[in-house]
Amino acid sequence: MKHALLALTFLCAFFHTATATAQTPLNVQQYCTVPGTLNDSCFSNAIAYVVAHGIVENPDSRMAYEVEVPTGTYNFTNTVTIPLGINISIQGNYQSGTWGAIINLGTMTTPAFLVQADNVDIHGLAFQGTATAGQAGIQLGDATHATYDSRIQNNWFNGPYIGINCFNAGGIYMTDDTFDVGTPFGIYS
């Protein structure tokens, strides 16, 4: 009986781990408010889905979800907030020198993404802006929420006033991000 209980405990722990980490990636285009209209609503709605349906590991965090961002230009007029309590990976479509997933900031005067959660991964996106003051591709943390242990990598910033704003953040891993001449402040703190 003791061996059977031990085997059952191992099996349950293995099954829980296997199912918790084997999430099907979410396609951000399936969450657009208006189907076929690529904008910030696609991201906000996908993140809202993760908040509502994420697998609960403990009361303070949810398992990681992968959000795929297919080729297209996503026009932003509102900031997309990645709230506390979720771990999410936002993966753009980058193909051998061609940026497929473009975040167009237009004349926004706020960040495209505001990261409040820990352990967020954003990579493979191209941020295009107009160097409007206050405009940022990604802002890490805000006045009330610090963020830690996130990864910002392989992104291209062409024109936002600030590429990555480390407002209230620590332990951030940034690598292989490109800041073109049209971005006055690549990494700002």
Q: Which H or E element spans position 44?
A: helix 40-53
Is the pLDDT confidence value at 55 over 70?
A: no
Residue-level pLDDT at 155: 95
How far does Cα 39 stand from its chain's mean position?
15
**How many C-beta atoms surround the C-beta of residue 95 within 10 A?**
10
Q: Tell me, what's the pLDDT at 13? A: 32
Q: What is the pLDDT of residue 9?
A: 30
CA-based diameter of the chain, in Å? 69
> End-to-end CA distance of the chain, in Å?
59
Residue 4 pLDDT more than 90?
no
Measured CA to CA, the distance from residue 103 to residue 165 in angstroms comes to 16
Per-residue pLDDT reduced to its tens digit, 22-35 = 468 899 999 999 99
> Higher-confidence residue: 109 or 61?
109
CB 132 within 8 A of CB 108: yes
| Nearest residue to 88 (alpha-carbon basis) of 111, 109, 59, 62 | 62
Give the pLDDT of residue 63. 52
Residue 12 has pLDDT above 70, yes or no: no
pLDDT in tens, 135-184: 999 999 999 999 999 999 999 999 999 999 999 999 999 999 999 988 99
User: pLDDT digit string (tens) for 103-123?
Assistant: 999 999 999 999 999 999 999
What is the sign of the dihedral through the CA atoms of 43, 46, 51 and 57?
Answer: negative
Classified as helix, coil or strand, 55 is coil
| CA 95/CA 71 separation, integer angstroms | 9
Please tell me the predicted confidence (pLDDT) of residue 24: 82
| Among 110, 162, 144, residue whose Cα is nearest residue 152 | 162
